[in-house]
Structure 1
Amino acid sequence: MSYIVPAPQPSRLAGLWRRTGFAAVLFVVLLAVNVWLNPARFAPAAWGTLIGLAAPLVGAALASAPVILAGRGGIDVSVGPTMGFVNAVLISVLFLGAGISSPLVLVPAALLIGVAVGAWNGWLATIVRVQPIVATLGTYLVLAGVTLTILPAPVGPAPDWLKALAGPASIVPLAAVFAIWWGLKQTPFYDHLMAVGSDDRAAYTAGVPVTLVRFLAYGLTGLFAGIAGIMLTALIGSADPNIGPTYTLIAISAVALGGVSLAGGRGGLVGAAIGALDIFLLQSALTFFNVSTFVLQIAYGAILVAAVVLTAVQDRLSRRATDDA
């Protein structure tokens, strides 16, 4: 199978800095502000706990990235409800309802749910050719309704092994996501994904199976959303039908802030993770001043707009530099 080899870059670190430099600088600034405002909470000894608190948001951002990288408006707004649905099924249906607590059952169940939702979205967006935002919005509404049907009110607790994944141990599922992504980067699929996101017509002409690549990107987003659902369940230690959807828009904002082009084909999971950490640190700083949730929503919107504008300016400058060369 033929595939497109990306144009050579000066260095991987230079390319990473070009895509995520703003988010990385913002991370340092926000971390310094938080350390100054609340030194006890952000002391090095507490970083493991902070990672656990940020893990579901980071997981949601990582899950949102693959379909965005695939291009053609591939924004999946059902990532948050998928996390909430996984949370409800694991705790309310399997653990409390069926008495199943083994990780050998609960973890595969979460992953299968995520992959099934991703495959459904991929079928709608790539085979039926429904607009991705419409297809995933429909899935959002269905999952939100089913979750509330299964779980009208919060219940708990979660199994002890699952609650143990909160805090410093949350690095385990996050590492699993990055390990999967690293493995995919060693295969032609990664090059196909970036080529399709950059220019799907050129990729199709070069023999890349555009429809299959995009379908697999949705499946990958679903898989990562299932893992993020596990992290969410570990953090809250129970099941809550309302918390999952709250991650949807801030995860997309984090991806854009991390230098992932919403047009597709540029960026990666490292940038998405840094963008998520930026938003988490911004939340912490604003919460210190007891601002209302409305102010937080304004901040998320401003971040999303600023990130999109910065990405557009960066792409234009890079294109101009390439033309001059």
Structure 2
Amino acid sequence: MSPVVSSSRSSTILRSAGFAVVLLVVLLVTNLLFNPARFQPSAWGTLIGLAAPLVGAALASAPVILGGRGGIDISIGPQMGFVNAVVIQGIFLSAGISSPLVIVPAALLIGAGIGAVNGFMATIIRIQPIVATLGTYLVLTGVTLTILPAPIGPAPEWLKAMSGTYSILPLAVMAIAWWLIRRLPYYDQLMAIGSDDRAAYTAGVDVTKVRFIAYVVTGLFAGIAGLMLTALIGSADPNIGQNYTLIAIAAVALGGVSLAGGRGGLIGAAIGAIDIFLLQSVLTSFNVSTYVLQIAYGAILVAAVVLTAVQERAVRRAL
């Protein structure tokens, strides 16, 4: 990929996330005014650790959405919760294994395996993605509660450090992985099938294979997000993962990723997630109830989808 094309794509992604970028500036200034101590440089590690699971969930949600044709994975949250339960209950406490050389690959394999199952159902059996991943959502929720009926802990010390001093590392790994993917022909194929899968198929793109890989990538990223969630809470909780599913999708939409596929990118998804985190921070400063937070998430999702639709129509008219 040439530097010119790469630069053009990056600028296009940032333009599609224009509303999210403006909102980011507004929310950041508001947070600095009302809660400056929380945003001091000395607290950045902890702050990133707090935001990391949501950002990770948003990044995980994006690849299948970019593939178009209703591609979506609503099992991201339960995948994170399942990884959290297996790592703490199964590997650390039951097996007595604390080494990152075991725990990290296990989380990635779990995520990739779940992503492959979702991809098989959605692309090969051709079950509607929302139905296929809803089934996975319910199965994982039930299995997680079966192996972990109640919260338990603690987590390994090295993992808990990932919510503080080293909180940027998992996000950096995801960023590097996507940066590498963007330099492969696969990325062009993913965006092509997201924009027009029939034209891509006519051009010789293996649409099924490309979408299947997108689900596997989503699963891998969900595995990393599950580790970040485990680092944040420092234990295992069977009920916490589900909370991230719809918020992550709202973040993706807010970040300018078209839910129809083929437009946007993970930079926008990350900005959208940071916006939601900063909104949470502002509302929490005012002691706003969780019910108001849910209303805010819904309003953000609707506004983001409407703005994205308006922008897409404007682009079509310009062409």
Q: TM-score, normalised to structure 1's length?
A: 0.95
Residue aligning to 1:285: 282
Q: Given the alignment of the two structures, is residue 261 of structure 1 paired with residue 236 of structure 2, yes or no?
A: no
Distance (Å, rounded) in 2 between the aligned partners of 1:314 and 1:14: 15
**In 1, are the aligned partners of 2:107 and 2:226 still within 8 Å (CA)?**
yes
Matches within 5 A, 1:26-175: 26-175=23-172
Q: What do the CA deviations read for 1:223-250 (whole angstroms, capped 9, x no partner)?
A: 0000000100111110000000100000
State the Cα distance separating 1:13 from its structure 2 match.
Answer: 5.0
Residue aligning to 2:196: 199
Distance (Å, rounded) in 2 between the aligned partners of 1:26 and 1:9: 25
Residue aligning to 1:180: 177
Q: Given the alignment of the two structures, is residue 214 of structure 1 paired with residue 211 of structure 2, yes or no?
A: yes
State the Cα distance separating 1:10 from its structure 2 match.
Answer: 8.5
State the Cα distance separating 1:15 from its structure 2 match.
Answer: 1.5
**In 1, are the aligned partners of 2:14 and 2:267 still within 8 Å (CA)?**
no
**In 1, are the aligned partners of 2:27 and 2:275 still within 8 Å (CA)?**
yes
Unmatched tracts of structure 2, length 5 or more: none
Q: Given the alignment of the two structures, is residue 311 of structure 1 paired with residue 302 of structure 2, yes or no?
A: no
**SS of match in other structure, 1:73:** coil
Change (3 A) 1:178 1:9: closer
State the Cα distance separating 1:170 from its structure 2 match.
Answer: 1.6
**In 1, are the aligned partners of 2:13 and 2:263 still within 8 Å (CA)?**
no
State the Cα distance separating 1:58 from its structure 2 match.
Answer: 0.1
Distance (Å, rounded) in 1 between the aligned partners of 2:155 and 2:193: 41
State the Cα distance separating 1:22 from its structure 2 match.
Answer: 0.9
Distance (Å, rounded) in 1 between the aligned partners of 2:136 and 2:9: 37
Question: Which amino acid counterpart does residue 278 of structure 1 have in structure 2?
Answer: D
Unmatched tracts of structure 1, length 5 or more: none
Matches within 5 A, 1:246-257: 246-257=243-254
Change (3 A) 1:12 1:250: same
Distance (Å, rounded) in 1 between the aligned partners of 2:19 and 2:263: 15
Change (3 A) 1:161 1:291: same
Residue aligning to 1:296: 293
Q: What do the CA deviations read for 1:39-63 (whole angstroms, capped 9, x no partner)?
A: 1112233222111100000000000
Question: Which amino acid counterpart does residue 244 of structure 1 have in structure 2?
Answer: G
Change (3 A) 1:299 1:199: same
Residue aligning to 1:233: 230
State the Cα distance separating 1:12 from its structure 2 match.
Answer: 4.2
Distance (Å, rounded) in 2 between the aligned partners of 1:94 and 1:306: 42
Distance (Å, rounded) in 1 between the aligned partners of 2:185 and 2:266: 17
State the Cα distance separating 1:163 from its structure 2 match.
Answer: 0.7
Change (3 A) 1:141 1:37: same
Distance (Å, rounded) in 1 between the aligned partners of 2:85 and 2:34: 36
**SS of match in other structure, 2:126:** coil
State the Cα distance separating 1:14 from its structure 2 match.
Answer: 3.4
Question: Which amino acid counterpart does residue 305 of structure 1 have in structure 2?
Answer: V
Q: What do the CA deviations read for 1:245-292 (whole angstroms, capped 9, x no partner)?
A: 100000000000000000000011100000000000000111111111
Distance (Å, rounded) in 2 between the aligned partners of 1:159 and 1:207: 48
Cα RMSD of the aligned pairs, angstroms, is: 1.5
State the Cα distance separating 1:166 from its structure 2 match.
Answer: 0.9
**In 1, are the aligned partners of 2:14 and 2:268 still within 8 Å (CA)?**
no
**In 2, are the aligned partners of 1:51 and 1:168 still within 8 Å (CA)?**
no
Q: 1:21 aligns with which of 18, 21, 32?
A: 18
Change (3 A) 1:319 1:81: same
Distance (Å, rounded) in 1 between the aligned partners of 2:264 and 2:11: 13
Q: TM-score, normalised to structure 2's length?
A: 0.97
Distance (Å, rounded) in 2 between the aligned partners of 1:297 and 1:79: 18
